[in-house]
Structures are given as structure tokens and as C-alpha cells.
């Protein structure tokens, strides 16, 4: 028990100093405890007992219509979808814990930063922001609970950020409805004509156990970025145990640095609708039910867009490596790929993506496969009418090889993550 007292007289102060804040008489009226301590009398002794810290759970639901700050001395409970309205800023302090309730369909919980809104949520390596399920027993001041692991998923929704940057949408429309939000919810719209759009900042955030379903084959990603512009700052993001994708880009131009996805149920990193930003220094560690490390789809309208993924480390276990589809265009470079099963491959699924590869609109270069198989065995599937042999040869010319040289992500920057603490980066 910690004892701290503050006396109103010098004489009593000396007594307290010697006696450890106890006094053998029948009265404690001369003692005053400092803030954070309560005076307790027992058997004639007076003690200043440290107050227990009360842990407030603040309920959040529906729309946030004025600026708010969420603080680390509370837990914020998302009851369904919580939407930061256009023109409003949500600030989240380092170390804050946010928990989403269980629910599917219209009851699925999520934190949604709508187009025109701003989120300022930057934790630190020592005090990351944690977004998790209400079933997680993590408490204020902690970075991890004790009752859930990476295999528990779909327990709440996820984080969705929407902006006004352009994308390539079907029918060449300027805006689109984000995946995971019902079509009649207009706060789910994203897209526009401002590539420099700024939705705020996300730093040192761990998103856990999400991916709740709103319908058949329609789950919420861990982090969804729809039409997010390059004025937005995103770095040091962790997604663990999400039922659907880890991080998915729908158009937009935002750059993301230092991202890690562990044990997602579908794809780790997913590109759609002409995303034209850069993902730099990223890690993927598959779980038992993971699908692809990378799923790269091309534009849906006439606008193209060209992404860059570089400096990645992908550990596969039971998963597939990468799938390029729908006229994919962009660059994947300097990645180390290892521990994938013998039948896992890097494949190009359609004639348009294959044509883009051979014309350098889609570039896949500087890959190191740590494998007993050859490049031709790993890269054994192009479009139905493609030339597998030419694909294999070109991959080798593009510096794809079976090796174990020191390329890929700088894993040392992820020591703050739950993934690191659980030993999933011990490779």
C-alpha cells in the first residue's frame, strides 16, 4: 500500500515522516492527504491510501457532429457504426483503447471517417492506439489483453477512412460507395478530383479481431482506405486477425509506410480502382486461413492509376503469394517471399494484366523467393492465353530469383507491435 500525506503543521509533518504516515491517536483531523489519496482511519492509525483509478467506458454511436478528443484514461465503446461527419475532426490520444461491439449486417460496428472529415490519431511506439473488440479484456494502460489471440476474428468491424482523391470507377463516375457500408448510407461515399486531399493522420495504431460481415461475402476490412489523398499521413499500422482483408486501397493517392498484417482471413494487402499511392516497408505473416499476400486489381473505369509496393517481406504458411487481375498496373519491387507452400504461386489472371506486364505497365521485379522451387515453378500461371515460359523468363530478367539475400522490409521498426510481442516476427 502506498502512503503519502501532507500535514498542516511542521510538527505533525515530522511525525508522519518518521512513522510512515500513521498516527496512534483517536483523531485524524490534523492530517490532509495529497490529491489522489484518501485518508483512512483504522484502529487508531491514520493512513493516506492511494485512490483506485476508475476506468470509464464511454459509449459512442451514430454521428459525431462536432470536434472531439478521445483520451487514454477512458475506453471508447463503439455501439454500431460511429461516423465522423464532414467538417469535423476526431482527435485520439496516444494509448487510447477503442472497442467495437459484436454484430453483423446493419448492426456491425466500425469507426468511419467520412469524406470531408479529419482524424488525428497518432499513437507512439510506447503508447499505441488499440482498436479491438469489446470481448478483449485489455484495460486502460495496457497494450494487450490476455483472452484473445490472432485466430479470433470478425468480432467487430474495423476502421474506414474516406476521402476526395480520384479513383477509377465503373462508368467513370466521380464517387463510389465503399465496400462494407450499405448502399443507402450516404456517409459511405468516397472519391473526387483532389489527389492531395487530407483526411488527417494515422500513426502507431493496432487494429485487432475485426472484419464483421454486413452480408454474404461482404465483410469490413481491418483498415479500409477509400479515395484517401496524398495529404493524409499513415504510418506504423498493424492489423491482426481480421476476417476479411488486412488493408485495402480503393482508388486514392495516399502513401502508407511501415505496415504489418498478421493472420487475416482473406488478402493481406488489396488494391482496387486505380490506387495510385505507395506502400513502403510492409510485412505480411499469414495465418491458418489466409488467402493471398497481395491481391492487385486494376482500374474499373477509363482512368488508370499506377501503384507502388516496395520493400516487403511476405511469410506465407498456407497462403498464396500474389494475384494480379483486371488489367492491373503498377510496380511491386524488392520483396522477400518465403515459407509459402509448394503449390503457392505468383500469378497473372487475365489477358489485360498479362499485356500490361509485357509492356511494362505492370512491373514485378527484384523479388527473392526463399524456396526449393525454381522461379518458373513459382511463377507458373499467366493469363489463359498468356505465355508462361515468356513470363518466367521475363521474371528472371527482372531480377526475380531463388535466394535469401537481405532485401525486403526492415522488420526492426515493428518491435512496438503485438505481432512482434507474440513471436510472429521470429524469422
Q: Is the pLDDT of residue 7 over 50?
A: no
What pLDDT is stored for residue 18 in this prediction? 38
| Torsion sign over Cα 311, 261, 237, 108 | positive
**CA dist 183 to 85, 169, 240, 265, Å?**
17, 15, 27, 24
- Span 19-34, average pLDDT: 54
- pLDDT, residue 136, reads 97
pLDDT tens profile 146-159: 999 999 999 999 99
Quote the pLDDT of residue 233: 98
Count CA atoms within 13 Å of residue 267 on its CB side.
Answer: 17
pLDDT at 45 over 90: no
| pLDDT 10s digits, 311-346 | 999 999 889 999 999 999 999 999 999 999 999 999
Say if CB 391 and CB 398 are below 8 A apart. Answer: no
Q: What are phi and psi of 198, to 5 degrees?
A: -120, 110
Q: What is the pLDDT of residues 347-397, one digit of tens each?
A: 999 999 999 999 999 999 999 999 999 999 999 888 888 888 899 889 999
Given this model, what pLDDT does residue 1 score? 39
How many whole angstroms separate alpha carbon 4 and alpha carbon 38?
9
pLDDT of residue 104: 85
Average confidence score pLDDT of the chain = 90
What is the pLDDT confidence band of residue 5, given thresholds at 50, 70 and 90? very low
Phi, then psi, of 315 in degrees rounded to 5: -115, 120
Q: Is the pLDDT of residue 3 over 60?
A: no
Please say if the pLDDT value at position 22 is more than 90: no
136 three-class SS: coil
pLDDT at 24: 44
The closest alpha carbon to 313, from 275, 369, 357, 243, belongs to: 369
Q: How confident is the model at residue 251 (pLDDT cuts 50, 70, 90)?
A: very high
Give yes or no for a contact between 161 and 119, defined as CB atoms under 8 angstroms apart: yes
pLDDT (average), residues 239-245: 97
pTM here is 0.87
pLDDT confidence band for 214 (50 / 70 / 90)? confident
H or E segment to which residue 234 belongs: strand 233-240
Tell me: pLDDT of 68 over 50.
yes
pLDDT at residue 16, rounded to an integer: 41
What is the pLDDT, as a whole number, of residue 43? 64
Residue 67: pLDDT band (50, 70, 90) is very high
Amino acid at each position: 500500500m502506498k502512503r503519502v500525506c501532507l500535514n498542516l503543521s511542521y510538527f505533525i509533518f515530522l511525525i508522519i515522516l518518521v512513522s510512515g504516515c500513521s498516527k496512534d491517536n483517536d483523531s485524524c483531523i490534523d492530517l490532509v492527504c495529497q490529491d489522489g489519496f484518501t485518508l483512512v482511519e483504522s484502529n487508531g492509525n491514520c493512513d493516506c491510501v492511494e485512490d483506485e483509478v476508475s476506468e470509464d467506458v464511454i459509449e459512442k454511436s451514430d454521428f459525431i457532429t462536432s470536434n472531439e478528443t478521445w483520451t487514454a484514461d477512458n475506453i471508447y465503446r463503439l455501439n454500431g457504426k460511429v461516423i465522423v461527419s464532414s467538417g469535423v475532426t476526431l482527435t485520439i490520444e496516444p494509448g487510447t483503447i477503442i472497442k467495437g461491439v459484436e454484430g453483423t449486417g446493419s448492426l456491425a460496428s466500425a469507426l468511419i471517417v467520412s469524406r470531408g472529415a479529419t482524424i488525428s490519431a497518432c499513437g507512439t511506439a510506447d503508447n499505441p492506439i488499440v482498436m479491438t473488440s469489446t470481448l478483449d479484456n485489455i484495460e486502460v494502460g495496457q497494450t494487450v489483453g490476455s483472452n484473445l489471440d490472432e485466430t479470433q476474428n470478425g468480432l467487430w468491424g474495423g476502421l474506414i477512412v474516406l476521402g476526395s482523391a480520384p479513383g477509377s470507377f465503373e462508368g467513370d463516375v466521380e464517387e463510389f460507395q465503399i465496400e462494407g457500408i450499405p448502399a443507402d448510407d450516404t456517409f459511405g461515399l468516397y472519391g473526387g478530383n483532389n489527389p492531395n486531399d487530407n483526411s488527417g493522420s494515422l500513426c502507431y495504431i493496432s487494429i485487432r479481431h475485426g472484419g464483421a460481415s454486413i452480408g454474404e461475402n461482404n465483410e469490413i476490412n481491418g483498415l479500409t482506405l477509400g479515395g484517401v489523398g496524398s495529404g493524409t499521413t499513415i504510418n506504423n499500422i498493424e492489423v491482426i486477425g481480421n476476417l476479411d482483408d488486412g488493408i485495402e486501397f480503393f482508388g486514392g493517392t495516399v502513401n502508407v509506410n511501415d505496415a504489418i498484417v498478421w493472420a487475416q482471413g482473406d488478402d493481406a494487402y488489396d488494391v482496387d480502382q486505380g490506387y495510385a499511392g505507395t506502400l513502403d516497408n510492409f510485412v505480411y505473416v499469414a495465418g491458418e486461413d489466409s488467402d493471398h499476400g497481395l491481391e492487385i486489381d486494376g482500374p474499373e473505369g477509363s482512368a488508370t492509376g499506377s501503384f507502388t509496393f516496395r520493400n516487403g517481406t511476405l511469410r506465407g504458411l498456407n497462403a498464396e503469394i500474389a494475384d494480379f487481375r483486371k488489367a492491373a498496373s503498377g510496380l511491386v519491387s524488392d520483396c522477400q517471399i518465403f515459407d509459402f507452400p509448394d503449390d503457392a504461386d505468383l500469378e497473372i489472371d487475365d489477358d489485360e494484366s498479362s499485356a500490361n506486364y509485357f509492356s511494362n505497365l505492370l512491373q514485378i521485379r527484384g523479388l527473392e523467393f526463399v524456396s526449393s522451387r525454381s522461379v518458373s515453378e513459382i511463377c507458373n500461371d499467366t493469363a489463359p492465353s498468356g505465355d508462361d515460359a515468356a513470363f518466367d523468363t521475363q521474371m528472371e530478367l527482372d531480377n526475380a530469383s531463388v535466394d535469401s539475400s537481405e532485401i525486403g522490409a526492415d522488420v526492426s521498426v515493428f518491435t512496438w507491435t503485438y505481432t512482434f510481442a507474440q513471436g510472429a516476427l521470429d524469422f
